[in-house]
Structure 1
Amino acid sequence: MKTIASCVEDILMTQPFLEEALSRHIINYSALAEELNAPISAILGKPIKSGAIMMALRRYNTPNTTLRHSLKLKRALQKLGDITVRSNLSDFTFQNSETLIQSHTKILEQVEANKDIFYAFTRGIFESNIIISSSENKQVLACFSAEKQIGLQEHLSAISVRLPKDNSKVSGLYYQIFKRLAWENIPIYEVVSTTNEFTILVEDHVVDKAFSVIKNLKN
């Protein structure tokens, strides 16, 4: 059976920014309780007093609840490895086709000959992306001349982070990275990840700020 406490928890879990602000004590309990009164009353099918909601908010935000995963997450963040920044990148988007792999093979031959080139390829259901050093733009266009190009974004930078080996068992690790970037109003153009490496693509004008945010995650 639904209770006021379970309703509060459900709402906060689906609104991480609200939960974060609450844990940092930058939201007024009374005002938030008034705001949540209508949706919680609707869920429970009866009018609820805001005072009861405020008590549920205070109980939810006790140290044991707020920090239930914090120690494990903090250790994982402290173990973040080297941070590498690469600038002057371009992101090409092509529509998937039966010949896309052949076109991809052509550009791989170009990239393999020059180890200094940044290159990443991701394939979705309907489209594929190539992130590559902008110096190779003409080569990409030539190799993919038979493909349908959907988009091209230039003036991008990549920030790559080495993750601890047990990162897949730590809940909230990626959320912490995305959350901190969002709090600083840094838009992410694209994300590329492997098992132990995480790369975000951002526009050049915010790369310094984004690097600083990620570096400070260790603190």
Structure 2
Amino acid sequence: MLSITNKVERIVLESPFLSEGLRRGLINLSELARQLQPQLESDLWKPVGQAAVVMALRRVTERLPAAAAHGDPALTRRHGQLTARTDLVEMTYRHSEATDACHRQLLAQSGLLQGLYLTVTRGSNEVMVVCSRPLIPLVEEVFAGERLLARLDDLNAVTLQLAAESHRTPGVYHGILKKLAWDKINLVNMISTHTELTLLLEKEHTGAAFSVLSTLVTH
């Protein structure tokens, strides 16, 4: 059976806001303990005293990792691991039998244009195209017969270079997204490859996101 401390630790670690708030000393432990009491009593099937919860919170807080002073080890230790792209558009189409042909045609024709951003992500029912603004006429021409579900303009992208072994690091994405959420930076979408994580952001949030993410990068 779980102890009070173990259960409190699970609750804290599952919430980026609680873990960060406790680590920074921003949360009143007594008030948090009072709010957690009903959930703990329900989960543990026994009465739980507020003082016991406060003590558990103190123990959990002491075990929380300190803020990284030199970046995240899951990010590469080389220059150029944080880059930005501006003036992007995201268009989402309904997947159809013609989608694959549209995709091939788009890649073939866009290959003649150098220095522009283009990525195509295929889901079960949708196809998402993210491209530089000059590519919009080409995308619209190629997907002219397809159903457009959504279009988001005025987006920017920030790409983080990850270490090759980052896929073995538990919570590597959580640590990155937690920092954005803590600073109330809205993430429109994210695209990942083996060693790159690209975050799509509204234009007005890009500067703040770049500033927050730069604290994760080690040089």
Count how many residue pairs are aligned between Structure 1 and Structure 2: 217
1:91-106 correspondence to structure 2 within 5 Å? 91-106=90-105
Q: Secondary structure of 1:79's partner?
A: coil
Q: In the TM superposition, what is the alpha-carbon distance from 1:10 to its structure 2 partner?
A: 2.3
Q: Is the 8 A contact 2:76 2:163 kept in 1?
A: no
List per-residue Cα deviations over 1:36-58 (Å, max 9, x = no partner): 11111122223211001111111
Q: In the TM superposition, what is the alpha-carbon distance from 1:131 to its structure 2 partner?
A: 0.3
- Is 1:75 the counterpart of 2:73? The answer is yes
Higher percent of residues as helix: 1
- Is 1:29 the counterpart of 2:29? The answer is yes
Between the aligned partners of 1:188 and 1:35, the Cα distance in structure 2 is: 29
Between the aligned partners of 2:196 and 2:76, the Cα distance in structure 1 is: 15
Partner residue of 2:148? Answer: 149
TM-score norm. by structure 2 comes to 0.91
1:95-174 correspondence to structure 2 within 5 Å? 95-174=94-173
Amino acid at match of 2:190: V
Given the superposition, is the C-alpha separation of residues 158 and 100 from structure 1 closer, same or farther in structure 2, using an over 3 Å criterion? same
Q: Relative to structure 2, which stretch is displaced further, 140-149 or 39-48?
A: 39-48
- Is 1:20 the counterpart of 2:20? The answer is yes
1:187-202 correspondence to structure 2 within 5 Å? 187-202=186-201
List per-residue Cα deviations over 1:98-155 (Å, max 9, x = no partner): 1101011111122100121100111111111000011111111110011111111111
Q: Secondary structure of 1:43's partner?
A: helix
- Is 1:58 the counterpart of 2:58? The answer is yes
Q: Secondary structure of 2:40's partner?
A: helix
Query: Which runs of structure 1 show a deviation greater than 4 angstroms over 4 or more consecutive aligned residues?
Result: 68-73
Q: Is the 8 A contact 1:73 1:173 kept in 2?
A: no
Between the aligned partners of 2:134 and 2:187, the Cα distance in structure 1 is: 22
Alpha carbon RMSD of aligned pairs, Å? 2.2
Q: Is the 8 A contact 1:190 1:202 kept in 2?
A: yes
Q: Secondary structure of 2:116's partner?
A: coil
> Structure 1 unaligned runs (5+)?
none
TM-score norm. by structure 1 comes to 0.91
Q: Secondary structure of 1:158's partner?
A: strand
Between the aligned partners of 2:145 and 2:181, the Cα distance in structure 1 is: 38
